Amino acid sequence: QVKERGKGHWRFYQAEMNAHLLARIQTDHAMRLGLQHGEFELHYQPRVDLRSGRVTACEALLRWHRPGHGLVLPGAFIGVAEETGLIAQLGQWVLEQAVAQARRWADAGRPAQVAVNVSALQFEQTQFVQDVADTLQRHGLPAGLLELELTESILVRDAEEALAKLQALAQLGITLSLDDFGTGYSSLTYLKRFALHRLKIDRSFVLALHEDGQADAAIVAAIVQMGHALGMEVVAEGVEHAPQLQRLQALGCDHFQGFWYARPLPVAEVEAHLGRTVTLPGAAPAPSA
Ligand code: C2E
Ligand code: MG
Ligand code: MG
Ligand code: MG
C-alpha cells in the first residue's frame, strides 16, 4: 500500500516537473520570438552623484512587452534566459541598445554614463570582451561612458579567467561595478584582487536604513568605509525615502539610485533628467536608538 502511494506521489511530482519544464520552454520560445519582433525595451533609471547632486549616469533595465502579459519585469524572465542560455543573446541585444543610446545622448550634448547589467553566463562567453569592444567601436562610444554591472557569482566560478577579463575591460576604459553587494559570496580577498571601480550596496541593506535595522545600518556604514578603503566608489540602490538618503550622505556614500528620485523610465522620459541637478535633503546623523 505504501508502495502504491509512493508511486502515485512520484507521478504527481513528475507532472509538476513537466509543467515547470514546459513553462520554461514556452517562455524561452516566446523570448526568442520577442527578440525578433522587437518586444524588448530598455528603461533607464537615473543615478545621482551625492556630492554634486547631479544626474551623471543611468542604469539600463530590461523590459518585455510580452503579448497577452503586458509589461513584464526581468524577475519573470531573466532566470529562464539564464537557464536556457538565451541570456547570452539577450545580453548582447541589451549591450547594443544601451551603447547606441549612450551615443545618441552624447551626440545631443547630454553625455551620461550608461550602466548595463551582465549575467555570469554572458560574462563567461569566450568572446565577451571582444563583443563589448566591438560594440563600443561600432557606435564610436568613448569607453568611459559605459559601465558594466557584474555580480559576485562571476568572481567565484573561475577566478583566473574572470580576473583576465576584468583587466581587459578596465584596460579599455570601461567602469566596472559589483552589483547587489552583500547578497553573494565574495570574500574581501576577491574584492581586493579584482580591483573593480564601484560597489553597489544591495537594496535590502538600504531598506534597513529606513527601518529599525541597526545591524543593517552598521553594515551599510561598513560597506561604504571598506569600499573607500579599497579605492572604490559606493553606490546605494533602492533609495525610496529622504531619511535613507540623509543617512547615506552622512556615511559618505558617493551615488544613489531609487524611487525617491526616479523609477526606471522609458528613453523619452529619462532624457530630461540627464545632467539635471537634484535638490538633496542634506546629511543627517544616525538616529539615536
Ligand atoms: P539590479 O541590477 O540590482 O537592478 C535594480 C532593481 O531594483 C531594478 O529592478 C530596479 O527597478 C529596482 N529598483 C530601483 N530603485 C528602486 C527602489 O527605490 N525601490 C524598489 N523597490 N526597487 C527599486 P528590475 O528592473 O525589476 O530588475 C531586477 C533585476 O533584473 C536587476 O537587478 C538585474 O539583476 C536584472 N536585470 C535587469 N535588466 C537586466 C539586463 O539587461 N541584463 C541582465 N543580465 N539582468 C538584468
Ligand atoms: Mg544592476
Ligand atoms: Mg542591484
Ligand atoms: Mg538586484
Cβ–ligand 1 distance for 257 under 6 Å, the answer yes
Cβ of 259 below 6 Å from ligand 1: yes
Q: What is the pLDDT of residue 286?
A: 61
Spacing, Cα 31 to ligand 4 middle (Å): 21
Look at residue 267 in the predicted model and tell me its pLDDT: 98
Residue 6 confidence (pLDDT): 66
pLDDT tens digits, 67-125: 999 999 999 999 999 999 999 999 999 999 999 999 999 999 999 999 999 999 999 99
The total of other beta-carbon atoms located within 10 Å of residue 205's CB is 23
Dihedral (C-alpha) 82, 88, 94, 98: value to the nearest 10 degrees? 130
- Position 289 scores a pLDDT of 43
- Asked if residue 61 has its Cβ within 6 Å of ligand 1, the reply is yes
Residues 81, 31 contacting (CB under 8 angstroms)? yes
Q: Would you say the pTM of this structure is higher than 0.90?
A: yes
pLDDT of residue 210: 76
Instruction: Tell me the HSE value of 88 on the side-chain side, using a 13 A CA sphere.
Output: 12
ipTM of the prediction greater than 0.85, yes or no: yes
Judge residue 36's burial from the number of C-beta atoms within 10 Å of its C-beta, 0-12 exposed, 13-18 middle, 19 or more buried. Answer: exposed
* One-letter amino acid for residue 73 of the chain: L
Give me the pLDDT at residue 54, please: 98
211 compared with 229, residue with greater pLDDT: 229
| Phi, psi for residue 181 in degrees, rounded to 5 | -60, 135
Rounded Cα gap, residues 104 and 199, in angstroms: 27
Whether 53 shows a pLDDT value over 70: the answer reads yes
User: Which of 117, 149, 205 maximizes ligand 1 atoms within 8 Å of its Cβ, making it the mutation to test the pocket?
Assistant: 117
**What is the residue-wise DSSP string for 214-281?**
HHHHHHHHHHHHHHHHTT-EEEE----SHHHHHHHHHHT--EE-BTTTB--B-HHHHGGGTT-B----
By the CB criterion, residues less than 5 angstroms from ion ligand 3 are 179-180, 237
The whole-chain average pLDDT of the chain stands at: 91
CA distances to 10, 77, 79, 84, 180 from 21, rounded to whole Å, are: 16, 14, 13, 11, 28
Q: Is the CB of 264 under 6 A from ligand 1?
A: yes
Backbone angles phi, psi at 111, to 5 degrees: -65, 135
Residues 194, 189: Cα–Cα separation, whole Å: 9
The one-letter amino acid at 164: A
Lowest mean pLDDT among 6-20, 226-240, 263-277: 6-20
Per-residue pLDDT of 186-207, as tens digits, reads 677 778 888 899 999 999 999 8
**Position 213 confidence tier, pLDDT thresholds 50, 70, 90:** low
Distance from the CA of 7 to the center of ligand 2, in angstroms?
45
Read off the pLDDT of each residue in 15-31 and give the average, rounded to a whole number.
89
Index of the ligand 1 atom closest to the CA of residue 202? 3
* Res 2 pLDDT > 60: no
3-state secondary structure (DSSP) of residue 272: helix
The stretch 219-245 carries a mean pLDDT of: 94
Of 245, 266, 270, nearest in space to 49 by CA = 245
C-beta neighbour count of 207 within 10 angstroms: 16
For ligand 1, whether the C-beta of 252 sits within 6 Å is no
Determine the atom of ligand 1 nearest the C-alpha atom of 116: 41
Per-residue pLDDT tens digits for 239-281: 999 999 999 999 999 999 999 999 999 999 999 999 999 999 9
Using the structure block, give the residue that is written with the C-alpha cell 502579459.
69
Over the stretch 115-163, which tens digit does the pLDDT of each residue have? Answer: 999 999 999 999 999 999 999 999 999 999 999 999 988 887 788 999 9
